[in-house]
Amino acid sequence: MSDGDSRTSWLKKLGKLFADAPDSQDELIDTLKAAAAHQVIDKDALEMIEGVLEVSQIRVREVMVPRAQMILLDEGQPLEEVLEVMLESAHSRYPVLNENRDEVVGVLMAKDVLRAVVKKQLEDKEDLRAIYREPMMVPESKRLNILLREFKSSRNHMAMVVDEYGELAGLVTIEDVLEQIVGEIEDEHDDVNAHIQKYHQGGYQVQATTPLEIFNGFFHTQFSDERVETIGGYLAKELGHIPQEGETVSLGDLQIKVLKADQRRAELLQVWMPEVLEKEEATSV
């Protein structure tokens, strides 16, 4: 069968699929994967469709930024300190905690602070309270498809996540949700070097979302696979399963340990070259 005939055949199958509802989500995805293999739909479209379908199964706790990693402001914090935090972190929204640091009393938007500073409307910490935005609160058990609808209807881009006891567990942004559909979103403030950092226990700490091109350039490797784009995806392909936290694997001259992972993917890796590490340890003795 020629490529043209094969493509026509799969177009007919897709037409039948959408005329007769598939029996399950798995059947739909399997058919779309087969269609992508025959170039009826492209790889990016397939990944986005899979992302849309998976979003309804993912809960906020799986994608949120944990409280320990949040950049927080304190109610009553001097304007000079607030501005310093904003300049260093370059975020657009900042949760503000009360005096006991157990409740989010508001959200400061960098653009509101900038506007007030330019108009000379800020003189002390009391003035900052006047421009707090009401925080959006969501439980960590909420599904992402529902959260996305709430973001859209409320016109919020960030929500505070609370646990079953009502305590602050983290935060989630509309970008965190959209990344589950379209993949990692880099902006002008994202530091490429933040993908790979020196690790205090030796070697390097590497974000699993690090593009293979950046990983290869840093470690002088030549890992490649047209089906994956990140080192986390490449590691999963080599292992043949989703990497488990604590799992260690050898790839070429590198040793890679999974420092953090969830049920869907690896998140953080430790990467080192054994012989290099041994030389560094010998030199330091």
Residues contacting residue 188 through CB under 8 Å, at least 6 positions apart: none
In a domain, 185, yes or no: no
Residue 68 sits in the same domain as residue 175: yes
Final residue before a domain boundary, out of 122, 152, 180 = 180
Q: How far apart are CA 167 and CA 145, in angstroms?
A: 23
Cα–Cα distance list, 165 to 66, 111, 116 (Å): 16, 33, 36
> Residue 187 domain-assigned?
no
Same domain, 176 and 266: no
Rounded to whole angstroms, the Cα distance separating 14 from 31 reads 8
Q: Is residue 199 part of a domain?
A: yes
Long-range contacts of 209-214 (CB under 8 A, 24+ apart): 209/184, 209/267
Task: Give me the number of domains the chain comprises.
Answer: 3
Chain mean pLDDT for the chain: 81
Helices then strands (H, E): number in the chain?
11, 12
Burial grade of 210 (CB within 10 A; 0-12, 13-18, 19 or more): buried
- 235 lies in a domain? yes
132 and 102 both lie in a single domain: yes
Of 16, 43, 60, at which residue does a domain stop?
Answer: 60
| CATH classification of the domain holding 219 | 3.30.465.10
Is residue 31 in a domain? yes
CB-side exposure of 219: number of CA atoms within 13 Å? Answer: 30
Q: How far apart are CA 143 and CA 174, in angstroms?
A: 13
Same domain, 73 and 173: yes
Whether 96 and 175 map to the same domain: the answer is yes
144 lies in the same domain as 50: no
**Residue 43 shares a structural domain with residue 69:** no
Identify whether 208 is part of a domain: yes
Query: Which residue segment(s) compose the domain that 160 sits in?
Result: 64-180
Same structural domain, 84 and 148:
yes
Same-domain pairing of 69 and 55: no
- Which of 180, 202, 222 terminates a domain? The answer is 180
User: Average pLDDT of each block of 10 consecutive residues along the chain (285 residues)?
Assistant: 56 56 66 70 73 83 86 89 85 92 93 89 76 96 94 94 93 89 60 70 85 89 86 92 91 91 85 63 44
Q: In terms of domains, do 226 and 273 share one?
A: yes
> Residue 54 and residue 28: Cα distance in Å, rounded?
12
Residues 99, 199 within the same domain:
no
Query: 10 Å Cβ neighbour count for 161?
Result: 25
Instruction: Read off the amino acid at residue 149.
Output: R
Q: At 275, phi and psi to the nearest 5?
A: -70, -35
Residue-wise pLDDT tens digits, 134-179: 999 999 999 999 999 999 999 999 999 999 999 999 999 998 888 8
My answer on whether 68 and 159 are in the same domain is yes
Give the per-residue pLDDT at 2: 55
Q: Is residue 114 part of a domain?
A: yes
The CATH number assigned to the domain holding 82 equals 3.10.580.10
